[in-house]
Amino acid sequence: MDYETLSNCFVAVFQHYKSNDKKIFVVNDLEDNFDALIDFLEGNIKNKEWHISYNGLNFDAQITHYILDNSYKWLTYSGSDIAKDIYAYAQSCINKSRAGDFQEYPEWKMKIQQIDVFKLNHWDNKAKKSSLKWIQFSMDWDNLLDMPIEHTVHIDKYEQINIIIDYCINDVESTAAIYNSSISQIKLRKSLSKKYKVNLFSASEPRISKEIFMYYMRPKMNITKYDFKKLRTERIKIDCGNIILPYINFKTQEFNNLLSIIKDMELDALNLKGQFKFCVNYKNVDTTFGLGGVHGANKSGIYESDEDYIIMSSDVTSFYPNLVIRNKWSAAHFPQELFCPQYEWFFDERVKIPKSNPMNYVLKIILNSTFGLSNDATSFFYDPELCMRITINGQLTLMMLYERIMEEIPGAISIMQNTDGIEIKIPKEYKEAYLDICKDWEDVTKLKLEHTTYSKIILADVNSYIAIDNPVKVDITKWRSIKDKNPHYLFSIKGSDFLYSAVKLKGRFNFHNLELHKNKSKLVVAKGIYEFFINNILPEDYIKTNTNILDYCIAQKSRGDWKQVKRVSINGVITDIGLQKINRYYISNNGCKLVKVNTFDGREIQLESGKWKQTVFNKLCIKNKFEDYNVNIKYYIDAIKNEIDNIINISKKQLTIF
């Protein structure tokens, strides 16, 4: 469902979640379906029907309950007068959201139960913040157009009403698509809601974590839910020297210098962001340390296992949760003798449950959320010292392993270090020595490592790479099910053997199963890089095979004082035509320049610098031939080649004949 609120017109569209059947209500002087809308909403209550929306809890559901509570006041009102009241209330809801204030109707007070796919997917989180338009772009939705009528416009024509209805239907249908893609998550939340007797249908993963933890922990502490939610440990300073584990030690000057600096640090607990930030150059590889974790990568290139060398990848099993468990840490406001056994119980229960069971996923959420929520002042996990205890010791502990391998394995080549694991190329003859070092590290830290061997890593940087497992033999009759479960598997047949390799795609090189809040612009580039390195297909040859125009599309969003314009020449005069906040476009042979303009100081930024022209593509228009889109193929081939060139360091001329 979705509402459109204009100054004197209200439109409501509902579509049944199992079909395309729609109910459309208009409240305006030209057409007034207000009585029918009230009957429909009261029927929803009577039949215990639910509303499914995008950001409905903070907007549409607020309006629904405002209408239900105030309809008796409007018995003598005209349609436009009712719409004016609804519009004023809608604006107050928007203002409250912007200010971070609570809305009038909390979910527990609502007469019609809700599933809010915006909240469920945590797209209200700062790191994932996404409007419906952005998610529509990510879903390759055919219509990304904004409503062409401003909400302040006085509606007095049927043509205007039809435009509003069409726009509302588009939003409802895209919300339905999001709902359908979230079915497994909704089923999970349904079972959790029943088991834990709390409404989790629109709950994000962090909220699920908090609710289930509270369900088990609160009775042990014998306090009310209200008091439990208020628990916090407020701190002013954090003395890092007091929180470093006693077994942390290093052999090299580089890491010992870092350890000394950290031991002498005193952090402002009220504002941790940006305080903990270091870079260590060790064996010509830069490793950065920060609040979230440690990251480092060797120079870009292709790293391969061969007859003499193997690439070892070692990840710490449930790294941060196990640091907490093995060292019996807790937020200071939780009694250690209660928190530690409960937290470990979550881990032990997860080990018993197959990964295919949704509860395994739920317990993973609970375990992993502790670190992030320990630095969230709105959470009852909040204790910034616990946050720093986890992240500092995690990074130093991993570097102990990294340093020892690099010092004790002759010819070891560092490839990457990334939060909870390392990738190092070593001589094959030292594999047992490598594993012995790892075993000693496990004995000291009481943590566990999982080892993988890669046949190849194609590295651009620590955030963008392709990693290929060593081939594994599999029964040819089972390969289809394996491939379906993990679309990143590659399959190749060698003689009578059937081998597959798992391929890990990260950062700019990832084009498959992207989360909807991520930016999927120019997927053709990531796909072209993949085809070059995995299947030896030149960019020029791959581009000829990809005729999906949406793979060439790019999205840009504007915030704050910035707006987007289309700069065109009309009768020889350069003219700016305003565009919406989010635009989908592709690079074309003809077209125009798209520019971001700052309305405050007049600064300008071209969306694509240089000679490139763009075609706005907010409304999908299918052409008979791909050539009819007039895509500038050179732009995309160059983009693929530039990425490849950065990795293999050969000129574009050489690449052409590679």
Encode pLDDT of 516-544 as tens digits. 999 999 999 999 999 999 989 999 999 99
CA dihedral 67, 72, 77, 83 (to 10 degrees): 0
Higher-pLDDT residue of 655, 217: 217
- Tokens of residue 637, six digits: 């081939």
**Average pLDDT in the chain:** 93
Residue 483 CA to residue 600 CA, distance in Å, equals: 52
Encode pLDDT of 125-146 as tens digits. 988 999 999 999 999 999 999 9
**pLDDT band, very low/low/confident/very high, at 252 (cuts 50, 70, 90):** very high
What stretches of 526-618 adopt beta strand conformation (E)?
A: 554-557, 562-570, 573-578, 582-588, 593-598, 604-606, 613-616
Q: What is the mean pLDDT of residues 554-577?
A: 93
What stretches of 151-261 adopt beta strand conformation (E)?
A: 237-239
Tell whether the model's pLDDT for residue 247 goes beyond 60. Answer: yes
Encode pLDDT of 29-55 as tens digits. 999 999 999 999 999 999 999 999 999
Strands 266-268 vs 237-239: parallel, antiparallel or unpaired: antiparallel
**pLDDT band, very low/low/confident/very high, at 512 (cuts 50, 70, 90):** confident
Tell whether the model's pLDDT for residue 445 goes beyond 60. Answer: yes
Tell whether the model's pLDDT for residue 654 goes beyond 50. Answer: no
Domains of the chain plus CATH, in order, are 2-196 (3.30.420), 237-299+313-409 (no CATH), 545-656 (no CATH)
Closest C-alpha among 243, 229, 230 to residue 385: 243
Give the pLDDT of residue 652. 40
- Tokens of residue 326, six digits: 């093995």
Residues 6+ apart with CB under 8 A from 585: 553, 554, 556, 594, 607, 614, 615, 616, 617
Encode pLDDT of 380-407 as tens digits. 999 999 999 999 999 999 999 999 999 9
Residue 295 CA to residue 279 CA, distance in Å, equals: 9
Residue 191 CA to residue 361 CA, distance in Å, equals: 13
- Tokens of residue 189, six digits: 């939340």
List C-alpha distances in Å: 160 to 14, 150, 192, 351, 619.
Answer: 19, 11, 44, 58, 19
Helix/strand number for the chain, H first, E second? 20, 26
Percent of the chain at pLDDT exceeding 90: 87
Lowest mean pLDDT segment, chosen from 240-244, 448-452, 492-496: 492-496
Tell whether the model's pLDDT for residue 168 goes beyond 50. Answer: yes
SS3 assignment for 309-347: EEEEEEEECCHHHHHHHHCCCCCCCCCHHHHHHHHHHHH
**pLDDT band, very low/low/confident/very high, at 370 (cuts 50, 70, 90):** confident
Closest C-alpha among 67, 27, 19, 10 to residue 44: 67
* Residue 652 contacts residue 540 (beta carbons within 8 Å): no
- Tokens of residue 101, six digits: 């204030």
Residue 314 CA to residue 311 CA, distance in Å, equals: 10
For residue 223, the SS3 value is coil
Give the pLDDT of residue 460. 95
Give the pLDDT of residue 473. 75
**Dihedral (CA of 13, 14, 15, 17) sign:** positive
Amino acid (1-letter code) at residue 579: L
Residue 408 CA to residue 273 CA, distance in Å, equals: 36
Continuous segment of H or E residues that includes residue 364: helix 358-373
List C-alpha distances in Å: 6 to 34, 90, 143, 174.
Answer: 15, 9, 21, 21
Tell whether the model's pLDDT for residue 418 goes beyond 70. Answer: yes
Tell whether the model's pLDDT for residue 15 goes beyond 90. Answer: yes
* Residue 435 contacts residue 281 (beta carbons within 8 Å): no
Residue 98 CA to residue 257 CA, distance in Å, equals: 46
Q: What is the mean pLDDT of residues 509-516?
A: 90
Tell whether the model's pLDDT for residue 358 goes beyond 90. Answer: no
Closest C-alpha among 463, 477, 531 to residue 503: 531
**pLDDT band, very low/low/confident/very high, at 491 (cuts 50, 70, 90):** low
Give the pLDDT of residue 479. 59
Give the pLDDT of residue 459. 96
Q: What is the mean pLDDT of residues 488-517?
A: 75
Encode pLDDT of 565-574 as tens digits. 999 988 889 9
Tell whether the model's pLDDT for residue 650 goes beyond 80. Answer: no
**pLDDT band, very low/low/confident/very high, at 487 (cuts 50, 70, 90):** low
Give the pLDDT of residue 448. 97
Give the pLDDT of residue 267. 95
Give the pLDDT of residue 655. 43
- Tokens of residue 50, six digits: 């639910």
Encode pLDDT of 310-327 as tens digits. 999 999 999 999 999 999
